[in-house]
Every structure is written in C-alpha cells, then in structure tokens.
Amino acid sequence: MFAIAVDESADHARPWVEEGKCTFPVVYDRDRVAVEALGIINVPTVLWIDEHNRIVRPQDAQFPNDNLIAFHGRASEGHLDALRRWVRDGEAPLTSDEARAGARLPSDDEQLARAHFRVGVQLLRADKREAALAHFETAGELSPIDWTIRRAAIALRGDDPFFSPEFIEMFQGWQEAGRPGYNLA
C-alpha cells in the first residue's frame, strides 16, 4: 500500500496514521500534485498500479470496510476479494480496454479549478483569507463535483465538512451528477 493524505499538513493526517499503525508509506499532498497527476477528484480513491507502473485499475472510490455504507453505498468485499486475487494469483481486474474506458479524464475547467485552488491555499497560508476564499469559490464553481477542492475548502476555511450547508448542497449536486469518481462497478 501507498497512501496519499490529501491534507494541508502532516498534523492533519497523523492521528489517523497513528491509530491505524500504518506500516506502509504515507505522504501528504497539500498542493494536490499527485492528486492532479492521477486525476483524483474524491477520497477515498484507489488505483491499482503494477510492477511496471502501469495502471491496471484506474481511479475509483473504494472503502476498507462497510462502516459508512449507508452514506456511500459501496460494499468493500468485492473490491477486496479482487485485490487479493490480483496480489496472490496475478489475476488482472480489468482488460486494458476496460481500464482505459474506466479512467476518468479531466476537463479544462477542472484543471483551471485546480489552479484556483492552488492560488487559494497559497493565500490562506499567507493569512489572506478573504482573497483565498474568493479563489476557493471560483474553483468550486468550475469543478463542483471535485471533493479534493470543494470539501477540502470547506474544512480549510474552518467549516464543518460533514454538516455544513455547503457540503450538503455539494453532496446532492454530486449525486445528481451521477456520483463522479465512483467509476467502476
């Protein structure tokens, strides 16, 4: 396993890493470098990457257990079984054509949203809150379904990422858009 915390600081990620007693590498991506490179728009998102750094299962939301299944509706068992078969038996989860078809590709608006988000976090780090929030707002308008931007921005500005009105509105819009980021069966 290789884990990327889509978080502003190591301290945000640390409590989870310590509680999970993680023995695998955990890095954090405050500027969304790997998030953008991998086209990630939600968390938790997994990709399966083989020995030759080929993506054999593209980005997709999956969960380690069913604790929050009422919220997300994604049972973990099928994914975890397939993962074991890939690791132990080398059974590919998808053909190359299926993996290509399942890859979610970004739009220019989504890329521009990432640029606005990056300007926003720079400004927030420099205590220029008002200017930062304006960029977060524009980013959210350009890419309303990107949780790594919109939900992260709710948390960054100090609001509740679970129960704030903006998250509830975002969640509804995301569902109406067909739950982007939940790519594969």
Q: What region does 168 belong to: left with phi over 0, alpha with psi -120 to 50, or beta?
A: alpha
For another protein, which is the closer residue by CB, 18 or 176?
18
Instruction: Decide: 60 and 46 in contact? Cβ < 8 Å.
Output: yes
Under rule CB under 8 A, which residues in 52-91 are in contact with another protein? Answer: 52-56, 58, 83, 86-87
The distance from CA 172 to its chain's CA centroid, rounded to whole angstroms, is 17
Instruction: Decide: 75 and 64 in contact? Cβ < 8 Å.
Output: no
Residue 23 touches another protein, criterion: CB under 8 A: no
Tell me which amino acid residue 113 is: A
Binding range to another protein, per CB under 8 A, among 50-58, 68-76, 170-178: 50-58
Q: Which of 2, 68, 168, 172 binds another protein (CB under 8 A)?
A: 2
Under rule CB under 8 A, which residues in 102-131 are in contact with another protein? Answer: 103-108, 110-112, 114-116, 118-119, 122-123, 126, 128, 131
